[in-house]
Amino acid sequence: MKNISVKQIPQFVRDNYAIYEWRHASAIMQNDFPDEWRDIIDVLQNFRLLKSNLIVGGGRKSKIAENFDAFLYERDWEEKSFDTKIVIDGTEFITPTHKVDCYKNRVAVEIEWNNKTEFYDRDLNNFRMLFELNAISVGIIITRTSELQQIFNQIGRGNSFGSSTTHLNKLLPKIDGGGGGGCPILVFGIKDSLYVDDIK
């Protein structure tokens, strides 16, 4: 945990997520976006890493990501694309951004559960661009800690969650290297303490 305003983060979240911030993102969320902050805390506190969701393969989006999306969509968050362009001497150049998984009131959330690590680069570049264009104030990434690989191996899904996929050890060097530019960023990495074997 790095430079976090921990007094405003419930103990459950601190115990069950690896938390990282860039450019005072947690203070901005707590002070400027209290409603959105409450939504984020609530979705983190309600989430459990169910074995039944882990053993399901394939599909465009994992059950894990769908659970986060569905929770936030019920609270008026939305998948959001931004139509952006640059005008040079009267000539317009369209500069489309990637869709944000969940967006509400200048807060952008990406759920990266099991994609190629290049998706982190895409997310950070998107946050940087949208922040520079004054479209967002904070970017949040919910991902998994690298230690979850042990659980994947135990349940026979290790090959589906390799070292080249999205996990915390791949993300943090990209943020520290300035991948998100000046955009305040908050990261929550799911720990193994949230794992529940719901298959009896």
**Sign (positive or negative) of CA dihedral 172, 144, 74, 37:** negative
Inter-residue contact 36 to 181 (CB < 8 Å): no
Q: What is the 3-state secondary structure (H, E, C) of 156-184?
A: CCHHHCCCCECCHHHHHHHHHCCCCCCCC
What is the pTM assigned to this prediction? 0.90
Mean pLDDT of 170-196: 95
Using pLDDT thresholds of 50, 70 and 90, give the confidence band for residue 1: very low
- Mapping DSSP to helix (H, G, I), strand (E, B) and coil, where does residue 132 land? helix
Best CA proximity match to 115, nearest among 31, 59, 74, 182: 59
The predicted structure's pLDDT at residue 91: 77
The predicted structure's pLDDT at residue 60: 64
Using pLDDT thresholds of 50, 70 and 90, give the confidence band for residue 5: low
3, pLDDT greater than 50: no
**Sign (positive or negative) of CA dihedral 175, 176, 178, 184:** positive
167, pLDDT greater than 90: no
Q: Which amino acid is at 44?
A: L
Query: Can you tell me the distance from the alpha carbon of 78 to that of 117, in angstroms, rounded to the nearest whole number?
Result: 24
Q: How many residues does the chain have?
A: 200
The predicted structure's pLDDT at residue 92: 72
